[in-house]
């Protein structure tokens, strides 16, 4: 016998509720209304809130992805500028026979090798140190770095910091949206059970295939075993996702 598949995701819950609402709203005045008026009103209200919250999760996730991509792009640009900056500083030190100590202003090792930070925050701190180091080098009598200059690195750093600061805000908005949806799921499940109970009660004199047909019109989905006869008119025979 076909088995009812209870909605177990936001999409399947919303699909059930929407189908039930549309079927109930389309019942003619002289037709059989299988959902009590208070239940239909609660279903409509909760569906609207649930749908809005679900859409907010999608919007927050999209914004989070955008901020992540923008932060990654800004960080990659900062790393490129630092690489070019270090190359220019090391080449000039070698070309002008500057003392190895000058490399320390720019966080380079005595042999010209570079630091290898692994986290975003470490890169931001390192870039700040490099910019400050150039000012210290100039104060010590060395020429300012060029191609790129410390000012150019600072501009790229400012962008990277701003983009990095946007990430926690986007993460928090996404978490809040998910929490809001989670809070609506229990009531959605209760309403879905109430819809099925009301339809089952109003169709108790029907045979089981006819009952399932009506229940499908109100959102229910059924799963069939391999080789099991499919109810007439049932086009969705797989398990709901």
- Phi and psi at residue 4, to the nearest 5°: -70, 135
- Give residues with Cβ within 8 angstroms of 178, minimum separation 6: 57, 60
DSSP annotation of 110 reads T
CA distances from 103 to 92, 137, 213 (A): 10, 9, 79
Find out whether 88 and 146 touch, Cβ atoms under 8 Å: yes
Q: Kindly report the pTM of this predicted structure.
A: 0.79
Q: Name the pLDDT band for 14 (thresholds 50, 70, 90).
A: very high
| 153 token code pair | 């690195």
Question: What are the tens digits of pLDDT across the range 211-233?
Answer: 999 999 999 999 888 888 887 77
Helix, strand or coil, per DSSP, at residue 71: helix
Question: What are the tens digits of pLDDT across the range 70-124?
Answer: 999 999 999 999 999 999 999 999 999 999 999 999 999 999 999 999 999 999 9
Question: What are the tens digits of pLDDT across the range 29-67?
Answer: 788 899 999 999 999 999 999 999 999 999 999 999 999
Domain ranges of the chain: 3-223
Per-residue pLDDT at 28:
86
Find out whether 181 and 11 touch, Cβ atoms under 8 Å: no
DSSP annotation of 4 reads E
d(CA 150, CA 82): 10
Q: Is the pLDDT of residue 239 over 70?
A: no
Helix segments in the chain, DSSP class H = 10-25, 37-95, 101-104, 120-139, 150-202, 208-217
């Amino acid at each position: 016998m076909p088995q009812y598949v209870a909605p177990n995701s936001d999409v399947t819950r919303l699909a059930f509720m929407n189908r039930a609402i549309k079927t109930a709203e389309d019942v003619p005045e002289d037709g059989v209304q299988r959902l009590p008026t208070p239940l239909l009103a609660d279903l409509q209200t909760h569906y609207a809130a649930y749908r809005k919250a679900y859409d907010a999760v999608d919007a927050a996730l999209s914004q989070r992805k955008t901020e992540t991509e923008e932060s990654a792009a800004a960080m990659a640009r900062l790393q490129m500028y630092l690489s070019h900056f270090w190359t220019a500083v090391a080449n000039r030190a070698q070309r002008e026979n500057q003392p190895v100590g000058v490399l320390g202003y720019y966080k380079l090792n005595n042999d010209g090798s570079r630091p290898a930070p692994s986290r975003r925050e470490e890169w931001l701190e390192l870039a700040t140190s490099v910019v400050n180091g150039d000012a210290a080098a100039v104060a010590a009598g060395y020429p300012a770095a060029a191609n790129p200059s410390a000012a150019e690195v600072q501009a790229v750093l400012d962008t990277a910091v701003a983009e990095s600061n946007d990430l926690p805000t986007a993460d928090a908005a996404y978490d809040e949206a998910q929490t809001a949806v989670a809070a609506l799921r229990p009531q959605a499940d209760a309403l879905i059970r109430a819809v099925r109970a009301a339809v089952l009660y109003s169709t108790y004199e029907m045979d089981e295939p006819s009952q399932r047909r009506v229940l499908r019109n109100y959102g229910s989905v059924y799963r069939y075993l391999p080789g099991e006869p499919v109810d007439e008119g049932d086009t969705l025979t797989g398990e709901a996702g």
